[in-house]
Chain A
Amino acid sequence: MAQPNIQDSLVRDFAALVGAEFVMTGEADRYAYSYDAAALPPVMPGCVVRPGSTEELGRVVSLCNHHGVPLIVRGAGTNLSGGTIPQHGGVVVLTNRLTRIVEINEEDLYAVVEPGVITARLAAEVAKRGLFYPPDPGSQTVSTIGGNVAENAGGLRGLKYGVTKDYVMGVEFFDVEGQLIKGGSKTVKCVTGLNLPGLMVGSEGALGVFSRITLRLIPPPQSARSMMAVFASIRAASETVAAIIAAKILPATLELMDNFTIRTVESFRRAGLPTEAAALLLIEVDGHPAQVADDAVKVEQICRENGSETVTVARNAEERNAIWQARRDALPALAKLKPTCVLEDATVPRSRIPAMIQALQEISREYRLPIGTFGHAGDGNLHPTILTDRRDKEEMERVERAVAAIFERAVALDGTLSGEHGIGIAKARFLEQEVGAATIGYNQRLKAAVDPKNILNPGKMV
């Protein structure tokens, strides 16, 4: 039953190691691991293995290397770049039995977790102890810490609190031979050896397989205030973003929605959003109550000075929730318009947001595709979302060209291909454009040195 590149003997070895019930070779089972959240064609793995302990995980890695078989680690499979599609067949290794929160240290403010721990579960456990783990990708109810670290996932709070990399203190991972490698530590400072956590964050499963991750925790903000500002032009909205930051205020969240998205969300929930507005900014400031009160007043003033007609400040939890509901609705509302949505995450320096938005409008017209844009204006990370139907071949070709155009414009504006979704298969061929051939060569030599048989997630990223 297994695919050609998996030998029966390897399947038997896996079964002996992790138990037959945790090795899947049937056609349907393998098909269920042929895709992820990227709108890309599925590719079947040869088999799927679910190790039950980190020791087993290490043994699985070395078995794959021994047989020279591709190994694709998979957390929740929610990445948007094709990072878990088994491009060259091989073995999909699931981490969803490795879900122990090993330690939450309230004195030294860190947590040690296995890679399959779900992000929201960790955040909730940490919150129960009066602490805070800020990275909150939109997929946090299902995404795993392993996947977050491998993609360097960000979230709504990126502006003030940073992204996953800002919380990774230490990593333990298996190299291709199944040896346990350790980097970083539980201390706040650590400059021992190479910065392996730095290397491994964002490595997309291509350099090693995480078995344990040590994450930094912080005290939670004591209070927060949210507001929604309405703008008649995108330019005014993005100038406001720059002005807020120039005024030395760092909101926890600073989100933008364009007119297309506003109208879509409004027809979806009828919450009374201003459908004629060119743009909305959704802002939250948090911290010490006195500071929050102060910041909120200043932000409101800056919004008005920059041309916002109305600024609504939430007076209670209900109003605050209504504001964030609008943001949470952005993707679902757009997703319901058309069968397929291609969610991009081109990112530009904040000052270039107006130019990028304009570029997106031009691209939408040129390729005759509806594009809704929302996203993390505060950190320049936009989510242009192209609405399409993956069954329409001709249109999908236009989508592909539009995506290429988006990257081109972003890079030309000193931006980057991906703010948080990673390169995977989806953007591999654009990489050179941003970083140049020499950089790719360097990456490839690094990869070849640690993974000589090229078994770790081959065909991705580099």
Chain B
Amino acid sequence: MIGKNSLFGPIDPAVESGYTEPPSRKGFFTDTSICIGCKACEVACKEWNEVPEDGFAMLGMSYDNTGALGADTWRHVAFIEQPGGREGRTGTPPSATVELGMPGPPPPTSSEGAVATDEKPDFRWLMSSDVCKHCTHAACLDVCPTGSLFRTEFGTVVVQPDVCNGCGYCVPACPYGVIERRKGPDGTKNVGVAQKCTLCYDRLKVDQKPACAQACPTESIQFGDVDELRERARTRVDALHEAGIMDARLYGDDPEDGVGGAGAFFLLLDEPEVYGLPPDPVVTTKDLPHMFNRASTAAAALLAGAVVAFLGRRG
């Protein structure tokens, strides 16, 4: 069925894909304000989904040595170290923080020598576990020429590795830079094939939580029905605002946004681009009808030009 919102706008993705009476849409609400950067989600995901290791390089930028989502990274914890004094940042008032015994910066020293004080350093550390957004309007799924990417009954987007022919078109199509073609090493499964988070489709089938949500020790990663998660997220943001943490905002929860709302959305404490997320992503296929018209006009112009070229002298 092709309807008004088939390419853009709020819609129920499973129903749009032709499921009759699908189960409620499933997704993640990742509350980064309580992420402790332990990477249990990264590890659990790799273990459960048999995602191969992709090297142990040190990126030399923070505690994040994974870098970004990709074929061999379906959950990625970002670490952002922010010195104070950023304009427009209200920051977390010291009273609102809870000591977790995590490693942190040393206490500030006075000019006479090391004197610990009760004052918190003007510094904060943001951590956020990123994942495939399972968009309502998923560009990767739209542009896949084989039907390898499909919409599940849970409203999520999954690759069928035995159908994918490795054309790589989904890779530049994703507005978040999530999906990627697996490069190797030789001997691992699905080399040359597009890979990304499946929201643990196999576990969902048997009423289990996805591995990352199961492993998260702080409930930063919450799994459930998208409608209910959106409610929960709004309640949480309001609570944070009341606590004076005005930086808190939701990302990807709005069905009116450029991808029709994400199935995996986030509570962030800074601008999305600080976490490596696009601030206002729009599914590329929104403009596809327009592109089709322009290309048809161009094709007609080429034919007309050829006709005109043969109307004159021959030599």
Please determine whether chains A and B interact with each other in the same assembly: no
Which B residues form the contact surface with A (CB < 8 A)? none
Interface residues in chain A, defined as those with a beta carbon under 8 Å from any beta carbon in chain B = none
